[in-house]
Amino acid sequence: MSNHRIKTPCVGLCSTVYGDLVCRGCKRFHHEVIQWNGYSEEEKQAVWRRLELLLEQVMVAKLEVFDEDRLRTQLEQRQVRFVAQQSPYCWAYQLIARGARVINQLEAYGIVLLPEFRDWALPELRDAIDREFFLLSEAHYGRYIAPRFLHDTR
């Protein structure tokens, strides 16, 4: 596995340059994308933590990680980048995001889909996870961030 530490949530699909308030790629807010390099470690960790909690919420509703060690080993062997300090459910997302078209048996990775998703193709599930993660990020922005921006401009 690459020894490079993942330093930013960016996945190289930024939509904030097109005016989105929430990036469709990494799910950060537009101001977080723009100001990232100027953030303190505490500010960066707060963003990472929010993204982790939202993604974990989506993933827990779709699958179970029953063997964290197996998942970690598989990610390392296949050189899939992941943030080791995050929840194994975030690791599972990285695996599905990178390998949805080639994975045949998730159980071999220490993951099992919940019954209502067992008939889904992994690319379809990956896309559904990504949409739901984006919608949660948008909702979070609308609930907690947008009102502050409106208040600050008065």
Task: Supply the DSSP string of 95-145, one letter for each residue.
Answer: HHHHHTTT-S-GGGGTEEE-GGGTTS-HHHHHHHHHHHHHHHHHHHIIIII
pTM of the predicted protein model = 0.89
Would you list the domain boundaries of the chain? 16-152
Residue-by-residue pLDDT tens, the chain, 154 positions: 344 456 889 888 888 878 889 999 999 999 999 999 999 999 999 999 999 999 999 999 999 999 999 999 999 999 999 999 999 999 999 999 999 999 999 999 999 999 999 999 999 999 999 999 999 999 999 998 887 655 555 4
